Amino acid sequence: MPELRKDPIVGRWVIISTERSKRPRDYDISKMMTKEGGFCPFCRGNEGATPPEVFAYREDGSGPNSEGWSLRVIPNKFPALRIEGELDREGVGVYDKMSGIGAHEVIIESPDHEKTMADLTEVEMERVMLAYKDRIKDLMQDQRLRYVLVFKNQGAAAGASLEHTHSQLIALPIIPRTVSEELGGTLAYYKLKERCIFFDIIRQESKDGSRVVLENEHFIVICPYAPRFPFEMWVLPKAHYSNYEQCGKEEYSSLARIMSLTLKKLDTALNGPPYNFILHTSPINTDEETKYYHWHFEIMPTLTKVAGFEWGTGFYINHTPPEDAAEYLRSID
């Protein structure tokens, strides 16, 4: 059973995963990525090689775990957290721990092994965006869970262990610290001005234009004012929504269009770089209303390594000003 442990000084939780307990020699980074030619459990026809699917978009008449799917969601074979069991909280002297209850799922974005997410058609991309929504809505039913984090690791340097295009989701029994910090900041602004800070940022960036990468009817993509990483981008809905799953049908197709364009631009600009993206949305199953929060994607190309100074300070050194990054990204068709 995995375990959640809390650092008593800064309150940061870590997942101690016992599923794949690793010895020093298991961390050989030179053979972490399976290259072309190997067996791929995410490919069409290999459905039996994965845990049974929890969700799929399928042709009429095709049964679960058979061919005929266009998108599949499966539990991670080596989950960081487990859905079965009791949510136990326990104190061990000065320390706090909790049983590792949660969900860890893989969203296989296409049956086609050759495609990257940037290569997906708009229809395929829309399925991915809708699958995120459907999985969040389903996991919200579980009262033990407080947060669903959707994320993607593209490329070995960004942490992907299989090259077939996929994203992941981890549902947690606690609100992660990064999200708490954003919630705290947005709440403070809301108390002061009675406005959503993201809404004000969108209005200012749209008017100013220097950090805007793309814009359509429902969404804007910007390089944020204080980015941690070169070419970091945020994708923001223009209308105020605190929760990802609250958007309307038309907005998800609009989101798919702008995500496709954004990832294509990134691929062209930086020659198919490794990247991570994360979906930040409001916590689930809390009594607190989070009308001051505004869901968004953060896209972070992995061009530099987080090193000593960043680990020691929480500061980031970024050698590409966001205005330059946005100008360059805008210039790419």
The nearer residue to Zn ion, 99 or 302, going by C-beta atoms, is 302
CB of 226 to Zn ion, least distance (A): 12
Burial of residue 320 (number of CB atoms within 10 Å: 0-12, 13-18, 19+): middle
Stated as kind and residue range, the H or E segment containing 127 is helix 122-139
The nearer residue to Zn ion, 127 or 238, going by C-beta atoms, is 238
Of 109, 156, 155, 120, the residue nearest 259 (C-alpha): 120
CB of 221 to Zn ion, least distance (A): 14
CB of 111 to Zn ion, least distance (A): 8
Stated as kind and residue range, the H or E segment containing 264 is helix 249-270
CB of 256 to Zn ion, least distance (A): 20
The nearer residue to Zn ion, 13 or 199, going by C-beta atoms, is 199
**Rounded Cα–Cα distance for residues 155 and 7 (Å):** 30
CB of 275 to Zn ion, least distance (A): 15
Of 280, 155, 151, the residue nearest 224 (C-alpha): 280
Cβ 329 vs Cβ 223: under 8 Å: yes
Please indicate whether residue 166 is annotated as part of the active site.
yes
Residues that bind Zn ion (CB under 5 A): 40, 42-43, 113, 164, 196, 198-199, 240, 280, 294
Q: Which of 166, 280, 294, 296 is catalytic?
A: 166
Cβ 51 vs Cβ 75: under 8 Å: yes
Calculate the alpha carbon distances from 222 to 126, 168, 204, 226 in Å: 21, 24, 11, 11
List, in sequence order, every beta strand (DSSP E) within the chain: 3-6, 13-16, 55-58, 69-75, 89-92, 95-99, 103-108, 147-154, 166-172, 212-215, 219-222, 233-237, 275-280, 296-301
**Rounded Cα–Cα distance for residues 134 and 140 (Å):** 10
CB of 162 to Zn ion, least distance (A): 7
Of 94, 87, 76, the residue nearest 3 (C-alpha): 87
The nearer residue to Zn ion, 5 or 44, going by C-beta atoms, is 44
The nearer residue to Zn ion, 132 or 198, going by C-beta atoms, is 198
List residues bridging with 239 in a β-sheet. Answer: none
The nearer residue to Zn ion, 101 or 212, going by C-beta atoms, is 212
**Rounded Cα–Cα distance for residues 330 and 333 (Å):** 8
Annotated catalytic residues are: 166
